[in-house]
Structure 1
Amino acid sequence: MRIFLVWTLFSGGWAVTGPTHVMAKQGSSLAVSCSYKPGYELYSKYWCRPRFLWFCFTYIAHTNGSEVTVTQDGVSIRDNHMARSFTVTLSGVTPSDAGWYSCGLSKTLWFNLWHNIEVIVSAGKAGLGTKQGHAMEPVTVLGTGRPQPGEHRGSQSGNKLLAGTETCWRLPWCKSG
């Protein structure tokens, strides 16, 4: 029985990966990229808000296993089999979009594989911000968006994830690759 429980919990462990935290300014668009291991290319991919025990009962957007872009209520999802990743784009982000989401793939009824992501929405208008009177330019950094030990997670406004890289504004917590 114990072996079955361990196998159930970890059989697809880490099959879906992505950032842990992403940020967007209110009114902007947010693109989040999640990757998956080989062998899952033809499975349906989804984006949802988990409810009870991190399970999703309805999907905000989902594919049917193809690479066709699907758009539902301002949220689009597109799978790229060659890159083994799918990208979810939220348009016109609002404060109500903040919270925890799951990007995942549907295996069977109760054995989906997923990765949890926190979406943080900052106040202000979308677009380039300023820091001490200078326009901030976006820089690309590699990583998951997680701050390293000792880094400050405070004012992380204006970043988004796309295709496995993090685009963020030049702030103290943001490191270029």
Structure 2
Amino acid sequence: MCTLILLICSIPVSDALWAEEHVTGILGRAITISCHYEAQHNQSHVKYWCQGWSRLCSVRAKTNWPNGRITITDDKTRGMFLVTIKNLQWEDAGWYSCGIETPGHDPMFNVKLHISDEAVSVPGFQYLSQPNVSRSGGSVTVSCESACGSFPIHYTWSEKTPSQDSMISDTNKLDLHCQSFSQQHHQYYCTASNTQGTKSSEIVHVSVNNVREKNCSYRIKMPNIGREYTCDKSSIKSSTTFTTISPTTSPTISPTATGTSAGPKSVRKSCVAWDVIRWVLFTLLVICSVSVTMFTRKH
């Protein structure tokens, strides 16, 4: 009886399969665990991820059987399969096993999964909308996100003012459009927070050239990302120009083409041609008149 218990509770470890014995994941994020095996003998066999540290463990996913938050990818050329667990929760902590289905005893290796909290990192920026602004009432959407930090993470956008900063969005998205600008210069920043702390982003600068809705022109300048958005509307033709700018230099704003630059040249060419034709006709008329007069006198 005692011998039977020892066989069930033993921790089988095979040289044919190995991994990191202790791994740590961040609450709410994903973790990928690498299980290495001898490719020569185990390429065609099914790999699995098992909750528990003995042969009585509960299989959670296989290479041909993904299970909810857990998936397994078999890289046969490198002799390893990757176990990915998404949206880690506190209850996911514990002992697991990498395993390979083989005739007889399966090679197994035990892995201890730890879950921890992590403070947020300084939020970074990106554009969610295409680099264009509609000619009337359009908007540009900027988002912020912390690359590190346990979930849930709460984001807010605030406008920096001389008197008191004011929150303008309780999400990670900032919508900028002509109607939201009341002065020539605006400064915005994003704040990310979780149970471990709070971090604020660098400043997003917005320079407004024209606040009027129908002739709106403004520039957004962010660290490592810069882009100028111009929207110009005239009575002849409207066009929108977008110029990528360097975050360390001030760009030269070129006037927007309106389709009228070729007009004066065309008019001048037409006038010159007409003047030449008129002079030719006048010369012919004079020659004809002189010829008729001389012919009349002779007769």
> Shorter chain as normaliser: what TM range?
0.5 to 0.7
- Extract structure 1 runs of 4+ deviating beyond 3 A: 124-127
Q: Structure 2: state its 5+ residue gaps.
A: 1-9, 121-146, 150-195, 200-299
Aligned to 1:174: none
Contact preservation (8 Å) 1:28, 1:125: no
Contact preservation (8 Å) 2:118, 2:148: no
Aligned to 1:90: 85
Distance 1:84 1:105 in 2: 12
Matched, 1:116 2:113: no
Contact preservation (8 Å) 1:48, 1:61: yes
Aligned to 2:55: 55
Task: For 1:33-72, list aligned pairs within 5 A.
Answer: 33-37=34-38, 38-50=40-52, 54-64=54-64, 70-72=65-67
Distance 1:125 1:89 in 2: 22
Matched, 1:13 2:14: yes
- The percent of aligned pairs where both chains have the same amino acid is 27
TM-score (norm. length: structure 1): 0.58
Cα RMSD, aligned residues only: 2.9
Task: For 1:86-165, list aligned pairs within 5 A.
Answer: 86-108=81-103, 111-124=105-118, 127-128=147-148
Q: Structure 1: state its 5+ residue gaps.
A: 1-8, 65-69, 134-177
SS at match of 2:42: coil
Contact preservation (8 Å) 2:21, 2:112: yes
Letter in 2 for 1:96: E
Distance 1:102 1:123 in 2: 24
Contact preservation (8 Å) 1:46, 1:103: yes
Matched, 1:28 2:33: no
Change (3 A) 1:73 1:56: farther
TM-score (norm. length: structure 2): 0.35
- Give, in angstroms, the shift of residue 23 of structure 1: 0.3
Distance 1:95 1:31 in 2: 17
Distance 2:35 2:74 in 1: 9
Contact preservation (8 Å) 1:26, 1:125: no
Larger proportion of helix: 2
Distance 1:93 1:35 in 2: 23
Letter in 1 for 2:58: T
Change (3 A) 1:98 1:125: farther
SS at match of 1:39: helix
